[in-house]
Amino acid sequence: MLKIHVVVVVHLVFKVKIISWNVNSLRAREPLVQEIIKKEKPNILCIQELKIDDHDYVSDFFSQFSYQTITQTQKSYNGVSITYDQILDTSDLSLPTLNKDQARNNILLLEKPGIAIINNYFPNGNPIDSDKFSFKLEWMNELYENIKKLKDKYEIIVTGDFNVIPEDNDAHDIKGYKKDALAQPESRKEFFKLRNLDLLDVFENENKKSSYTFFDYKTYKFGKEEGIRIDFFLVTPFLKNKIMNKKVLKEYREMERPSDHCPILIELNI
């Protein structure tokens, strides 16, 4: 009797939802962060501008939702964290040079898919005739050099508040930013250096107005939809093709006591 052996190959799909958000003070935005965790249930939450020098506070806040956290904290300014499901197989890829002077970067490695998630709060750089602008450019170049090395080993997701308006149409009215560090040719050059590492802007081809992520508190800019696009997900081409959903979560900008930034979200099937 002829025996036929059938081999069944099962491909396990790794699903991950990632949210990135400049909260402009975690203490001030606790209710909104709780809301986004309960509603969206992200696997990974990248936070910028914690404005707190208390590592235990940050870890304890997120542990109540059964998350683990890596964080860089700084009193009153800056600060970043990546919060993630405890079931994920991860490690912390710390880059001390990017946090030498200010707490602005952390990196979570998803071991099994081999994905480095790089969370950043880029320096603002204003005023442009000060050391703050030169620090901005030096920091961006240092990030570029590190990502260039990481890209040889891993798939890459770079996210956070970039404090760069890459193109004129990424602002409601670019004329107001002509003397701002966010729109200077040097800042844009550093941004596109990152892009030239074959990193794709997830929201690049979306309607620009619908993709604004920052609305100044002044003169009710959000209500008039007068914003800028400075928060990003840059990803390698392999990951870009795995994105099943992407969204700017503008509803969190119109809630009570909001951040001036909107959260941004991507979901991937890997």
Kindly state whether residue 5 falls inside one of the protein's structural domains: no
Kindly state whether residue 105 falls inside one of the protein's structural domains: yes
Kindly state whether residue 58 falls inside one of the protein's structural domains: yes
pLDDT in tens, 110-126: 998 999 999 999 999 99
pLDDT of residue 11: 46
pLDDT of residue 98: 95
What's the domain range around 98?
15-269
Residue 137 has pLDDT above 80, yes or no: yes
pLDDT of residue 4: 54
pLDDT of residue 66: 95
pLDDT of residue 10: 44
Mean pLDDT of 141-156: 97
Kindly state whether residue 259 falls inside one of the protein's structural domains: yes
Residue 180 has pLDDT above 90, yes or no: yes
Burial status of residue 117 (CB atoms within 10 A of its CB: 0-12, 13-18, 19 or more): buried
Mean pLDDT of 60-74: 97
Kindly state whether residue 1 falls inside one of the protein's structural domains: no
Q: Which residues pair with 121 in a beta bridge?
A: 161
Q: How far apart are the first and last CA of the chain?
A: 42
Q: What HEC string does the chain produce?
A: CCCCCCCCCCCCCCEEEEEEEECCCCCCCHHHHHHHHHHHCCCEEEEECCCCCCHHHHHHHHHCCCEEEEEECCCCCCCEEEEEECCCCEEECCCHHHHCCCCCEEEEEECCCCEEEEEEECCCCCCCCCHHHHHHHHHHHHHHHHHHHHCCCCEEEEEEECCCCCCHHHECCHHHHCCCHHHCHHHHHHHHHHHCCCCEECCCCCCCHHHCCECCCHHHCCCCCCCECCEEEEECHHHHCCEEEEEECHHHHCCCCCCCECCEEEEEEC
Task: Let me know: does 50 contact 25? Beta carbons within 8 Å.
Answer: yes
Q: How far apart are CA 80 and CA 241, in angstroms?
A: 28
Kindly state whether residue 3 falls inside one of the protein's structural domains: no
pLDDT band at residue 158 using 50, 70 and 90 as cut-offs: very high
Number of domains making up the chain: 1
Kindly state whether residue 7 falls inside one of the protein's structural domains: no
Kindly state whether residue 139 falls inside one of the protein's structural domains: yes
Residue 184 has pLDDT above 60, yes or no: yes
Task: Let me know: does 179 contact 128? Beta carbons within 8 Å.
Answer: yes
pLDDT in tens, 259-269: 999 999 999 99
CA 150, distance to chain mean position in Å, is 17
Task: Let me know: does 38 contact 62? Beta carbons within 8 Å.
Answer: no
The CATH number of the domain holding residue 169 is 3.60.10.10
State the chain's mean pLDDT as an integer: 94
Q: Per mean pLDDT, which range of 50-54, 137-141, 217-221, 258-262 is the poorest?
A: 217-221
